[in-house]
Amino acid sequence: MPKLLTSPFTAFEGQISVPGDKSISHRSIMLPALAVGESRIVGLLEGEDVLATADAMRAMGARVEKQADGSWSVWGVGVGGLTSPDKVLDFGNSGTSTRLLMGLIASHDITVMMTGDASLRSRPMSRVMNPLMSVGAQFVASEGGRLPVTEIGAKMPLPLDYTTPMASAQVKSAVLLAGLNTPGTTIVREAVSTRDHTERMLKAMGADITVEENGQGRTITLVGQPELQPISIIVPGDISSAAFILVAASIIPGADVMISHVGMNPLRTGIIAALQAMGADIDILNAKTVGGEEVADLHVRGAALKGISSLPVDPSTMIDEFPVLFCAAAVAEGESVFTGLEEMRVKESDRIAVMAAGLAANGVQVEELEDGLKVTGCGGKVPGGAEVATHLDHRIAMSFAVLGQMAVKPITIDDASPIQTSFPTFVSLMSDLGAGLSLQA
């Protein structure tokens, strides 16, 4: 369990790229596994979460291989072709793998046992299992709808017309993925638009899927049992990983960083708008579309941030980025108030409570709200000096590594190992830019 210790930065400048988008990487393995033929993926995130998805698809019959040139190939089994694995699927820390694959499995006549690490086993899965039971899947779950879970897919799956009760791309995607091997038409309605990587990739692979925008949100309609076509995918850099660099470069005086080829899906870029509202100096350059996804280069320089009382975007467009945004608010001048963040309590940890505890321990004045956090900024460096409990949450670990660059006394992160799930090169990349970080046994 290596600890991560922060120390004063020497600089923060350079041109970098961040690992491939985690959400797209998961889907780049899952969906081609249901095509017929070979799909090729360039830029796949090779973190532990995505590798867990690859292992699961292999166990259910797909062929997934890394090539000598660093790209990946997936040979699919066709829609309806998944088979029961001969082992328990261990998803480690990956809630995305678990929830999306529950959807895929729901409409296949197979039985799958699944588990994960202590963090994942503590996270509720009922929000996904409930609609999938209406498809016809059965679940034998641990207390509170948690892992370990045995899922028995439906022999005769039923299409759903489902309205999501919360803004969750994972719930939406699970229902759509169940609809792939379901006769008839599956409809998902969401009041708040959530990340749409599943819809984009299915359309690119030839599925009959339509998205209708209206004043009440979005309606996604999928015709079941398509013959998915193989696809070539270039995975853009993950905006959720870039967020740590964006915040670090925004709060460190004199910073000047260019981040290349970052995914700019409009349902994912709330962190940029939020930082700009706080006064961050971020330029969006060379915008283009690659493989159906918007990408751009981001040029960010150090700036004097101010607190904000309301967000310029819906929280769903940056739900994973709030931990590091709280750290930006801790360094900013004035008070920031963030609300509407109930979803943060059911992530890898209760991110509202864990961030509040870590910030308070390091001398930042915070008030935990039922659905968010109130942060009184220090107008510069924070006191620091405490050890932060990550609760096996990669984004907590990386957020406090960023905050530690602006701490008077070093901040210690109790366990750096969760960072491997999404951003394996985080420590080395930050160090190369000039951040002060060191791993300790």
Task: Look up 320 and say whether it is catalytic.
Answer: yes
What's the pLDDT at 348?
A: 78
Last residue of a domain, one of 228, 254, 285: 228
Angle between helix axes 270-277 and 239-251 (nearest 10 degrees) is 10
Q: Which two tokens stand for residue 365?
A: 């004045």
Does 101 share its domain with 244? no
Same domain, 256 and 170: no
Please count the CA atoms within 13 angstroms of the CA of 288 that sit on its side-chain side: 7
Q: Does one domain contain both 240 and 219?
A: no
Boundary (domain end) residue, out of 196, 228, 260: 228
The domain containing residue 355 runs over which residues? 3-20+236-440
Q: What is the CATH number of the domain that holds 11?
A: 3.65.10.10
Between the alpha carbon of residue 412 and those of residues 140, 363, 394, 425, 430, the distances in Å are: 40, 14, 14, 19, 16
Q: What is the pLDDT of residue 391?
A: 93
Boundary-marking domain end, from 171, 206, 228: 228
Cα–Cα distance measured from residue 323 to residue 342, given in angstroms and rounded to the nearest whole number: 13
Quick one: 163 and 195 in the same domain? Answer: yes
Peptide bond into 230 cis (omega under 30): no
Find the distance separating the first CA and the last CA of the chain, reported in whole Å: 7
In the prediction, which pLDDT does 132 show?
Answer: 98
Q: Which residues are annotated as a binding site for phosphoenolpyruvate?
A: 22, 95, 123, 170, 351, 395
- On whether both 269 and 355 belong to a single domain, the answer is yes
* HEC sequence for the chain: CCEEEEECCCCCEEEEECCECHHHHHHHHHCHHHCCCEEEEECCCCCHHHHHHHHHHHHCCCEEEECCCCCEEEECCCCCCCCCCCCCEECCCCHHHHHHHHHHHHCCCCEEEEECCHHHHCCCCHHHHHHHHHHCCEEEEECCCEEEEEEECCCCCCCCEEECCCCCHHHHHHHHHHHHCCCCEEEEEECCCCCCHHHHHHHHCCCCEEEEEECCEEEEEEECCCCCCCCEEECCECHHHHHHHHHHHHHCCCCEEEEEEEECCCCCCHHHHHHHHCCCEEEEEEEEEECCEEEEEEEEECCCCECCCCCCCCHHHHHHHHHHHHHHHHHCECEEEECCCHHHHHCCCCHHHHHHHHHHHCCCEEEEECCEEEEECCCCCEEECCEECCCCCHHHHHHHHHHHHHEEECCEECCCHHHHHCCCCHHHHHHHHCCEEEEEC
Residues 191 and 250 in one domain: no
Total of domains in the chain: 2
Tell me, yes or no, whether 356 and 406 share the same domain: yes
Q: Residue 349: its pLDDT value, please? A: 82
Domain shared by 195 and 283, yes or no: no
Q: Which of 158, 168, 86, 65 has the alpha carbon at shortest distance from 123?
A: 168
Do 105 and 152 fall within a single domain?
Answer: yes
Identify whether residues 350 and 409 lie together within a single domain: yes
Sheet of strand 161-163, all strands in order from the earlier edge strand to the far edge:
161-163, 185-190, 217-223, 209-214
pLDDT of residue 69: 97
Whether residues 158 and 131 share a domain: the answer is yes
For the chain, 441 residues long, give each residue's pLDDT as a single digit of tens.
Answer: 899 999 999 999 999 999 999 999 999 999 999 999 999 999 999 999 999 999 999 999 999 999 999 999 999 999 999 999 999 999 999 999 999 999 999 999 999 999 999 989 998 899 999 999 999 999 999 999 999 999 999 999 999 999 999 888 899 999 999 999 999 999 999 998 888 999 999 999 999 999 999 877 899 999 999 999 999 999 999 999 999 999 999 999 999 999 999 999 998 999 999 999 999 999 999 999 887 789 999 999 999 999 999 999 989 889 999 999 999 999 999 999 999 998 898 787 899 999 999 999 999 999 999 999 999 999 999 999 999 999 999 999 999 999 999 999 999 999 999 999 889 999 999 999 999 999 997
This prediction has a pTM of: 0.87
d(CA 159, CA 378): 53
Are residues 414 and 275 part of one domain? Answer: yes
- Determine the Cα–Cα distance for residues 117 and 151; give it in Å rounded to an integer: 18
Q: Which residue from 56, 405, 27 is spatially nearest to 244, judged by alpha carbons?
A: 405
Please tell me which residue in 49, 117, 320, 393 is annotated as part of the active site: 320
